[in-house]
Amino acid sequence: MASSLLQSARNSTFSTFRRSYTTPQTMSSQRAMSLSSYLVKPAELNAALKGNAPTKLATSPRVIPLCASWFMPNDPQQRSGYEVFKQGHIPRARYISLSSFSNRSLLLNHPSFFDLDAVSDTSSPYPHMLPSPQVFTQAMRKLGIRRDDNIVVYDSAELGIFSAPRVAWTLRVFGHPSIHILNNYKLWVEEGFPVEQGEQHDLPESQYPEPKIDPSKVAAFEEVKEIAKDWNKEGREGVQILDARSPSRWSGADPEPRPGLSSGHIPGSISVALPELLDPETKTLLSRDELLDIFRTKGVDPLKPIISSCGTGVTASVIDAALTEAGFPETNRKVYDGSWTEWAQRVKATENLIHKTK
C-alpha cells in the first residue's frame, strides 16, 4: 500500500513538473536569439552561423561551432577525434577533444586545437579530470575563444552524442555563459548543411580571462562516499546517483574495460545507460517528454538532488545534458568527476561500497 502511494505521488510530481516545464533559457539564448535552448537543431545552428559568423573582425558575440569528437582508448580502429575532424566538419569549426584539458604538451605542439585528455588535471591518476583554471584558460586562448562567444559543441556523425556534453559541462563549470550542444552532427550532414574538410584554420589567440571553478556543479569522491555510506538509512534517501554505464557493468555481470578494475555500482545508484537516452537511428538525444518518461520510469525524483556518474565522467555528462533538456533544476545537479574509475580504486573492500546484483 505504502509503495503504491509513493508511486502515485511520484507520478503526480512528474505530471505537475511536465505541465510547468518551460524551455531552459540560458544566457546564450539572450545573446543569440536564434539559439533557443541548450540543445540546438542543425537548422537553428545554420541560421545562427549566417547571422553571427566567427570572423576575425567581428566585435559582437559570435557563434562558434566546436567539434569535440573523441574515441575511447580501446577503439578497434585506433581513431583520433582530430583525424575524424579533418575528414569533415562544420565550416570554420574549431576542434576540442577530451585530451586537450590534460596534456600541456599537446597545447604547445598543436596550438589551434585541444582535446579533453590534454586539458585536465595532469597530477591526477584518473583520466581527464577537470583541469586547473590556468590550464583551462590557456586552452581557450589557444582556440581564440572569447568570453562572449556563443559556443555550440558537437560530436562525430558516427557517435551522435557522446563526448560533446562533457566538453559543454566543463565549459559550464568554468562559467562560460553561452554554451549549447548540437543535436546532432549526424543530422547536420544528412540534412545537407555545409561541410568542409582539412585542417583547422589558423586562429589568433584571445585574451580569455582566467575563471573560477563552480563547485556546485562538481561532486567529489568524499561527498559521494558519504552519500553511499548513508544509503538505505531512514531519512537519508535525499541524493540520487544516476549511472550511465551499461547495465551489465553496473550490475557487476560484465567486467570493466580497464584491466584490474572491479565492476558493480555505488550503493543506491540507478542505472540510466547512455543508449536509453538516445534515438537508436539518429543518435540524437531524445525529446523532453521521452526523457521525462525515462526518468519517471527509473524512479528519479525531479525535486531531489542528482549526481550523474559513469566510467570516467564523460557519459555522466550526457545524463546531465538530458536532465537539462528535461527541465530538471540546475541547482540540484552535479557530475561525479572521477566517476567509477576513481570509485573502484579508492574504496576499500572492507567498506562494502561496491555493490553487485548479478
Q: Is the preceding peptide bond at 184 cis, omega within 30 degrees of 0?
A: yes
DSSP one-letter code for 337: S
Catalytic residues: 310
Contact assessment for residue 247 and residue 275, using Cβ atoms and an 8 Å cutoff:
no
Secondary structure, 3-state, 175-196: CCCCEEEECCHHHHHHCCCCCE
Dihedrals phi, psi of 229, to nearest 5 degrees: -65, -30
CA dihedral sign of residues 294, 298, 301, 306: negative
Residues contacting residue 192 through CB under 8 Å, at least 6 positions apart: none
Give the full edge-to-edge strand order of the sheet including 240-243: 218-219, 333-336, 306-309, 240-243, 270-271
